Structure 1
Amino acid sequence: MALSIRAARAAAARLAPRHLLTRATAINAVRPAIISTKFALQRHNYTSPAALKNNTSETRNTVVQLLSNIGSKREVEQYLSHFTSVQSQQFAVIKVGGAIITEKLPALASALAFLNHVGLYPVVVHGAGPQLNKMLEAAGVEPEYEGGIRITDAKTLAVARQCFLDENLKLVEELEALGVRARPIHSGVFTADYLDKDKYKFVGKISSVDKRPIEAAIAAGCLPILTSLAETSSGQTLNVNADIAAGELARSLQPLKIVFLSEKGGLFNGETNEKISSINLDEEYEELSRQWWFRYGTRLKVNEIKDLLEDLPRTSSVAIIATEDLQRELFTDTGAGTLIRRGNKLTAKSSISEFKDIAKLTSTLQNDRSFTSAESPKAAAEQFLQRLEGAPFKAYADEPMDALAIVHPPTRDGEPAFLSKFVVTKHGWLSNVADNVFSNIKREFPKLAWIANTSDEYLTWFFDKADGSVMQGQNVIFWYGFDGGLEEAAAWLKSQGFNTARESAIPPPVTGIKQQVRAFSSLTRPRALNRGPTLRNQARAYSTDAESHLPGDTNPNPSLRRDKNTAFKDKKVALVGARGYTGQALISLINNHPYLSLSHVSSRELAGQRLQGYDKADIHYSNLNVEEIKKMQENKEVDAWIMALPNGVCRPFVDAIVAGGGAKEPGSSIIVDLSADYRFDDSWTYGLPELIKRQKIAESTRISNPGCYATAAQLAIAPMIDNIDGSPTVFGVSGYSGAGTKPSPKNDVENLKDNLVAYSLTDHIHEREISRQLGVEVGFMPHVAVWFQGIHHTVNIPLRKQMTSREIRNLFQDRYAGEKLVKVVGEAPSVKRISGKHGVEIGAFAVHSSGKRVVICATIDNLLKGAATQCLQNMNLALGYNEFEGIPLD
């Protein structure tokens, strides 16, 4: 055993210096040490739980040393103490997706081994979705879903049981290969009722959890590894979603941590695409729910976690992280993924009188290091509060006052605010209240400076929060928000009497710093810390640049935000070119839209006839000319113009609208053109919301609606852009409605019967459109078939590196996560299923045996998402409505 411990310590030593260590290196370094520990125990017959327990202390010290390479020893020891303060089964529930077992099994086992070798026993529950799909395909069973829930018939259930058993044993065997005793638990924990037997067959809704098998495994020194299968009270096996199983398990065990291992490694801000480091639900949920991008999958996931945490103690939290970041998330202050907790609402006060409990405030301040060394900490805190009475400040604190910060605003423009006190209890650090308080400060004060003593055990946390820092005697001066970076910060420090030289042997006295710093800081002189100016990124802070919106509002245009006390004013729409199939589809959609009404419908062929299929008003077709359109615009009779005309026809009408004062600045009328006339004009916005920033569309008055072929092709190629080597080719087949209403061989049903008609096989306008938007040369070969509406694309993409089908599908699932009108499926989608629907389906992901070529299939209804539905999305955004208002969603 001693040899293995020395080997582990040597591995840790080889990894120095600390700042050069990567997380992956740390994990890989400890793996052989854990394996050698296992073999050493076997050689000495120390294979019993008692023997493992006897060696836990020494092993723990070794692993702590290795963990210290990803965080300070103080952080690691503090979190270990926190996690071991509860019963073993109350440490953590970890939910593992099936894809992680397939693709990251060694990393997963190493991460769990880390925890076990420091005496922690996470309860692991796993799924097996991808593996089950593969086994069902091999068995000739096509997966069926209803509302996102897998329909589990008897044959599917039989395959599922075998699949869960296989995957469970894989993880158990991998853990035992690392010297970790693990116990597979396939049944006896979850009791369930049928969710809806007629609808979903053998799918369960958990009614109770029996903790005894878990407790017995931990008592025997084993990690419990659970599947998400359940049984009825009569013993019938039922399939249960692994996320739901993990949630119910957490409600029963009441753990400190619930961890969802995710391939993405967290939740992301849809506006900035940055990972959300933490969410304090009590403080931030309302603001978060008003963001236009907080919707679909993200909203659903956060709401599920919110419901779960409301059933758990306030000390519990949920982490969404990547497998390889498990140690960093659990054992460091900065974390690695997205941490979600209930937290406590923060208060911001500007006077001492606003504090209801002055005694509590005084008691909290006594814990500040500048007061703890005083003869009477209480008297020192009271004197500080007296000085505050005459000074401007902003105090931030949570309800139990686990964190208290006092900030003094700048006295002159261009200067930073000053953080004079930042007092945090141990619980405040462990529950990340400190981050929450600091995030609030940063939102209100974009430029800030503060001072910390070099002996402060949380000094590394301050470095993480600062843009820069400089040593001054036995203190470190931190700052953020200087637009000019280090040069501006150095100039400010110099103006305050600080010497910013790295090698200053005798730092000057702190005499020039502004009055509020002199009044509210207490500088002591312990040992120096050898740090010069440095740049660091902020961690564990939730923030967004997006404007606040009303709950459920997906309009990113704040200037057009709906007043919560009033209804939307109806907008008048003029449809120019209403005879075609797309025009008819638009009439139907607007007829059911709560805030849009047709005011004019123009068609040369149908002029004078009554508009059919529209119930809001009695409207007759007209044949609007250029002068009439200009006059209508001058009179502001129309809020939105839809041009549903053939290519090359609409420019005079657009010019007339602009001449009448429309389609200019935000707030004027808008134009959505369904032709190709402006798709290559940079002064127009290309309106494909799933790929173009919705904010840009919302701020536009002239929007070019993409082509139907082009929409599906771009959505099928876009997630692969960074992996393409060469030119993708698109073989497209459309129903004959795509050929329009004017008679031609392409919409002649007799000609199309038992036939497939190719046309414009090179240089088609959609070929140029797709290539221009994606920035990649794409070959497009269109065909027309005998069905009426719907398009099928077969897209061939050459790859610059070998990839698996799963990797590619993950790219698509990540890219389109939460998109209501894009559905990623496993199999090749069919035209029959998309016809009459408002979205796009993408699937197949068939990779050539070389791994260097993938074939992807996509389907779209050319009249709906390919034209009318997309037009309505763009109009909704530009007019300030919910993007999907008036669009029927499955």
Structure 2
Amino acid sequence: MLSSRSYAALAARRARSVIASSRIRPGSSLNTARNLPRAATILTTSRQYSQPPESHAPLSTRSTVIQLLSNIGSKREVQQYLSHFASVSSQQFAVIKVGGAILTEHLHTLSSALAFLNHVGLFPVVVHGAGPQLNKMLEAAGVEPQFEDGIRVTDGKTLALARSLFLEENMKLVEELESLGVRARPITSGVFTADYLDKQKYNLVGKINEVDRSPIEAAIKAGCLPILTSMAETPEGQVLNVNADIAAGELARALQPLKIVYLSEKGGLFNADTNEKISAINLDEEYDHLMTQWWVRHGTRLKIKEIKELLGDLPRTSSVAIIHPGDLQKELFTDSGAGTLIRRGNKLHFKTSLSEFEDLEKLKELLVRDRAGLDAKATVDRYVEGLRNQEFKAYFDEPMEALAIVLPPRSNSSLAHLSTFTITKSGWLTNVADNVFASIKNDFRKLAWTVREDDENLTWFFDKADGSFSKDGEVLFWYGVESASEVSELMTEFSKHGREMLGDSNLESRLHRAARAASVSASALRHASGSVQQARAFSTNSYSPMQVRRSGASRPNIVTPIYHSSSRGYTTATNPNPPLGAKNASNSQPAKVALIGARGYTGQALITLINSHPKFEVSHVSSRELAGKKLKGYEKRNITYENLTPEDIRRMDEKGEVDCWVMALPNGVCKPFVDAIGQGSKESVIVDLSADYRFDKSWTYGLPELINRSEIARATRISNPGCYATAAQLGIAPLVPYLGGQPTVFGVSGYSGAGTKPSPKNNVENLKDNLIPYSLTDHIHEREISQQLGVEVAFVPHVASWFQGIHHTISIPLKEEMTSRDIRTLYQDRYAGERLVRVIGEAPSVKAISGKHGVEIGGFGVHSGGKRVVVCATIDNLLKGAATQCLQNMNLAMGYAEYDGIPLD
């Protein structure tokens, strides 16, 4: 996948071209309020330090910026966060603390990320340290660093070296930003006033007691990013050394920003019990529990404690992020983020009767805010009155940014119903929705609710559900349903009666209320962001009302979500019912997978993925050469290779021993094994990794990014695409309507693509300093690519001396003149929201994709005549070219979330 550094550089270059083409100076306002929806405007009239624009930014400028950011998140997320950041004055957007190691190791990545933020009209205030550099400098000067209680003791010589170093590092960052076309202003004094922290103990170390904002405001007013050192001065002018974290905290207290960002090479805080990065910490709910954990000690304990104290002095809307500089955009503009987000959050409260509410009118106001029409108040009055005789449980936070009302199961049902779910825009931004839903899952084992198809947060609901069913513009969601009969009954009632299926004569329809209340995000954001484009995420075209999975003995009729987002919820505390993606709702046991022909590289790669998959387990592996030997690399249980015959497979299938069969055999040999399957009482899934069924129309071709995912979800016979073919199709598909002739694909693969059987194509000595062409015409992948795209494609494969990874250089004739930017935008639009396809500016490299689970597409070099473009694509032939794609297909066909078990960058 695309590296953080490459993405940041691309973002900066793309943003610069946008600014240049629109004649917008960095620092000037993009005042497009008269031309754009209100909250789509990045800078608003509340911005205090913007210069008048030379011209209004055209709509294409804004949409290009939004589209670029949409590569890392949905358009809804991007617009929502841009609007949020633009709602305050410039210096209140973000304070970013940069450590010395970041300046040394990640200067370009940092500068590119800051440049991108500036080019979309945002002005982060940057304060940096230089600790590692100072240690080296002192060592070179023969001065041994001294620390007391973690604070550097600073004598005159140390301070002189530190001051010189800080000025040098400051200018290094400023000059790097200037080279990217961003105006930056070094501010090395005049902001922090300090007294001696303890002169006798620490010598020339300061304790900040005053922050002068005027140099920062002046820099922003002039259109410059303010770049501060953490040096302070006494009122008498004595320079004092101050820890950069402390300086950033005091700066945040003075500016009251929305975000405080600590850049870290690790990219966040980690739970030492699980070795997983902590996605989010809600201090009001989790702080006490967190501080009891054995691994929260030393620096981590101090960091969390200091952040809690800092956030206590800031508005509740402020939050702290600990993040790698290369992931800055993802952290700022997506719900899932990339590092560790720390916020105060709000404690949740619970009520089970109307008498417990101190102010019923306030409750009604919350319910009315979601409803349009003259009768909204009367409807809410009737609803609240009905609750007097209705058992329910209400969930809400202190400021009532979020309210959920759940009706418990009735006597003849075990299913609870989410009757009301209302979240303000601020509530979505602070992720209180996750907290509420996590609490509901703790209390109710089974739940159903409905949401309108056009809800901007539809993918959020998909992420919370085990299954879903769509009909007449509504989506029925559920979790916790365990039996096929329950699912069938639920969908039958929904099909017959829609949202009224669980209605009550005394209450407005339960699911009707749930749908209207849950769509609060649409009403809150529609005025801001318009319709949200999520390419192939969810649409009525690709997800028709009656698209249900074929039923078998253990696989009920459930629809699998097409797209899943990863919202932040509780991550440090134990949740007995954690949110899950789609899964096989009829069986809590892992699905059993049999691999036939698991000796090769692809089989081993798939075993590694299944080993960490939450819902699959290997039950059988078959290999004639390895029969009797222990399967290596699989830790869930001991597995021994078998030599399974077609008759063995027939017998196993009849007994229902296997849920999913994976054929990892050479071309031309798997038919007897496939023919042996299908005799049992349940219809198990087959995924074939060979080319034997890629041209058989009775099989589904499993390329999820180009094939309707619902077809794969309904399929039981799936042909896995070839590695060369996958990358080539993804590299050509967006330009098929614009073709002016036959595309030519020059492909080069690592020698693992030649298999494990010895041959000249995988002989390392033969490949050394060499490039071997083979099958120069009529290669089977040439036929595969051409058939799937519906156009004739020429394909010329080669093998090179590296082990894994493929590079395609694709020459594509165009029927009309196009620019590189036009073509790149086509690709970004086509693959927006695809988590395993990354569109970049420069030509991708094999080195960057090897061992990664996606595809990178870039280059977009247009011939001087404008009617031929060269596009480059890279893929790991063993992963997305084979095993990873196989797992995508298995997940979809078995009813799990598409990316379960796939490490996502």
Q: TM-score, normalised by structure 2?
A: 0.52
For 1:583, the equivalent position in structure 2 comes to: none
| Pairwise CA distance, 1:100 | 1.4
Query: How far apart in 2 are the matches of 1:165 and 1:111?
Result: 22
Summarize deviations over 1:290-316 as a string: whole Å, max 9, x none.
445444333322221111122122222
Q: CA RMSD in A?
A: 3.5
Distance 2:132 2:470 in 1: 53
Matched, 1:146 2:148: yes
Q: Where does residue 380 of structure 1 map in the other structure?
A: 379
Q: Which amino acid aligns with 1:224?
A: P
- Other-structure match for 1:464: 463
Native 8 Å contact 1:271 1:545 kept in 2:
no
2:560 to 533, 539, 543: 533
Q: CA offsets per residue over residues 152-205 of structure 1, 9 Å max, x none?
A: 222221221122122211211221122111011111111111112222222111
Of 29, 33, 55 in structure 1, the residue corresponding to residue 14 of structure 2 is: 33
CA distance change for structure 1 residues 231 and 191 in 2, over 3 Å: closer, same or farther? same
Q: After superposition, what is the alpha-carbon deviation per residue over 1:478-534, rounded to whole angstroms, capped at 9, x for unaligned?
A: 34456xxxxx4765321213499xxxxxx6543896568994111689994744512
Segments of structure 1 that go 5 or more residues without pairing to the other structure are 1-19, 483-487, 501-506, 549-890
Partner SS, residue 173 of structure 1: helix
Q: SS of the residue aligned with 2:112? A: helix
- Separation (CA, whole Å) in 2 of partners of 1:275 and 1:427: 26
Give the direction of change, closer, same or farther, for the CA distance of 1:490–1:133 in structure 2 (3 Å limit): farther
Partner of residue 495, structure 1: 489
Maintained 8 Å contact 1:466/1:479: yes
In structure 2, the partner of 1:401 is 400
State the 1:269 CA deviation: 3.2
User: Aligned partners of 1:295, 1:56: CA distance in 2, in Å?
Assistant: 52
Could you tell me which residue of structure 2 aligns to residue 438 of structure 1? 437
Change (3 A) 1:187 1:511: closer
- Give the Cα separation in 2 of the matches to 1:291 and 1:446: 28
The answer as to whether partners of 2:460 and 2:565 remain within 8 angstroms in 1 is no
> Deviations 1:192-225 (Å, cap 9, x if unpaired)?
1111222222211112111111111011100000
- Is it true that 1:271 corresponds to 2:277 in the alignment? no
Shift of 1:138: 2.1
* Partner of residue 100, structure 2: 98
- Equivalent residues in 2 for 1:724-803 (5 A)? none
Deviation of the 1:411 alpha carbon: 4.8
- 1:336-383 alpha-carbon deviations (Å, 9 max, x no partner): 322222233221111111111111111111233xxx245511111122
1:108 matched to 2:85: no
Aligned position for 1:155: 157
Contact 2:391/2:407 (8 A) holds in 1: yes
Aligned residue number for residue 305 of structure 1: 307
Gap change, CA 1:75 and 1:378, over 3 Å in 2? same
C-alpha distance 37-116 of structure 1, shift in aligned 2 (>3 A): same
Aligned mates of 1:144, 1:428 — CA distance in 2: 46
What is aligned with 2:192? 190
Mapping for residues 408-447 of structure 1, pairs under 5 Å: 408-411=407-410, 415-447=414-446
**Is residue 26–residue 121 contact of structure 2 (8 Å, CA) maintained in 1?**
no
Structure 2 CA distance for partners of 1:451 and 1:324, relative to 1, 3 Å: farther
- The residue that corresponds to 1:171 in the other structure is 173
Counterpart in the other structure of 1:542: 570
Give the whole-Å Cα distance in 2 for the aligned partners of 1:46 and 1:358.
Answer: 52
Q: How does 1:110-149 map onto structure 2 within 5 Å?
A: 110-149=112-151
Q: Which residue does 1:874 correspond to in 2?
A: none
Q: Is the alpha carbon distance of 1:227 and 1:157 closer, same or farther for their aligned partners in structure 2, counting shifts above 3 Å?
A: same
- Pick from 67, 71, 78 the counterpart of residue 65 of structure 1: 67
- Using CA pairs under 8 Å that are at least 6 residues apart, name the structure with larger relative contact order, 1 or 2: 2
Aligned twin of 1:705: none
Equivalent residue for 1:589? none
Letter in 1 for 2:510: F
Q: 1:366, 1:377 within 8 Å by CA — same for their partners in 2?
A: yes
- Amino acid aligned to 2:433: A
Which residue type is aligned with residue 437 of structure 2?
F
Q: Distance in 1 between matches of 2:56 and 2:382?
A: 49
Q: SS of the residue aligned with 1:510?
A: helix
**Separation in 1 of the partners of 2:24 and 2:431?**
43
Q: How many angstroms apart in 2 are the aligned matches of 1:175 and 1:508?
A: 61
How far is the alpha carbon of 1:434 from its aligned partner? 1.9
Contact kept? 1:63, 1:117, Cα under 8 Å: no
Q: Describe the superposition over 1:826-847 as per-residue Cα deviations: whole angstroms up to 9, x where unpaired.
A: xxxxxxxxxxxxxxxxxxxxxx
Q: Select the structure of larger CA radius of gyration.
A: 1
1:34 and 1:255 map into 2 onto residues whose CA distance is 24
Relative distance call for 1:55 and 1:74 in structure 2 (3 A) is farther
Structure-1 separation of matches of 2:91 and 2:25: 24
* Greater shift in the superposed pair: 67-76 or 109-118: 67-76
1:140 Cα shift?
2.2
Question: Structure 1's 346 and 158: CA in aligned 2 closer, same or farther, altered over 3 A?
Answer: same
Alignment partners' CA distance in 2, 1:135 and 1:334: 40
Q: 1:67 Cα shift?
A: 1.0
Stretch deviating more after TM superposition (249-258 or 266-275):
266-275
Could you tell me how far 1:251 is from its partner in structure 2?
Answer: 0.9
Give 1:563's aligned residue. none
Alignment partner for residue 316 of structure 2, among 302, 314, 326? 314
1: CA distance, partners of 2:440 / 2:2: 31
SS in 1 for 2:281: strand
Q: Find the aligned partners of 2:69 and 2:3 in 1 and give their Cα distance.
A: 11
- Contact in 1 for aligned 2:27/2:222 (Cα 8 Å): no
Q: 1:465, 1:539 within 8 Å by CA — same for their partners in 2?
A: no
Q: Find the counterpart in structure 1 of residue 242 from structure 2.
A: 240
Is contact 2:5–2:109 with CA below 8 Å preserved after alignment?
no
Corresponding position of 1:326 = 328
Quote the residue 2:634 is aligned against: none
Match in the other structure for 2:367: 365
C-alpha distance 243-476 of structure 1, shift in aligned 2 (>3 A) = same
Q: Partner of 1:847 in structure 2? A: none
8 Å CA contact retained: 1:466, 1:536: no
Tell whether the 8 Å contact from 1:187 to 1:229 is kept in structure 2 after alignment.
yes
Aligned position for 1:861: none
Give distance in 2, aligned partners of 1:240 and 1:511: 61
**1:134-163, Cα deviation, whole Å (9 max, x unpaired):** 222222222221111112222221221122
The answer to whether the Cα contact below 8 Å between 2:450 and 2:499 also exists between their aligned partners in 1 is no
SS at match of 2:251: helix
**Cα displacement (A) at 1:389:** 2.8
Indicate the residue corresponding to 1:222 in structure 2: 224
Match of 1:579? none
For 1:30, the aligned partner's letter is: A
User: In the alignment, residue 11 of structure 2 is paired with which amino acid?
Assistant: V
How far residue 244 of structure 1 moved from its aligned partner, in angstroms, is 0.3
Q: Identify unmatched segments of 5+ residues in structure 2.
A: 29-49, 523-538, 544-558, 577-905
Distance 1:161 1:73, change over 3 A: same
- Could you tell me the TM-score, scaled by structure 1's length? 0.53
Partner of 1:260: 262
CA contact (8 A) 1:35 1:177 kept: no
Q: 1:547 to 1:466 in 2, by over 3 A?
A: closer
Cα 1:46/1:258, change in 2 over 3 Å: closer
Q: How many residue pairs align between the two structures?
A: 514
Rounded to whole Å, the distance in 2 between the matches of 1:206 and 1:416 is 57
Residues 472, 499 of structure 1: 8 Å contact kept: no
* 2:842 alignment counterpart: none
Question: Shift of the alpha carbon at 1:75?
Answer: 2.4
Instruction: Sort the Cα spacing of 1:420 and 1:37 in 2 relative to 1 into closer, same or farther, 3 A.
Output: closer
- 1:449 and 2:448 matched: yes
Task: Please give the alpha-carbon distance, in whole angstroms, between the structure 1 residues aligned to 2:450 and 2:250.
Answer: 45
Deviation at 1:121, TM superposition (A): 0.8
- The percentage of aligned residue pairs carrying the same residue is 60
Is the Cα contact below 8 Å between 2:72 and 2:330 reproduced in 1?
yes
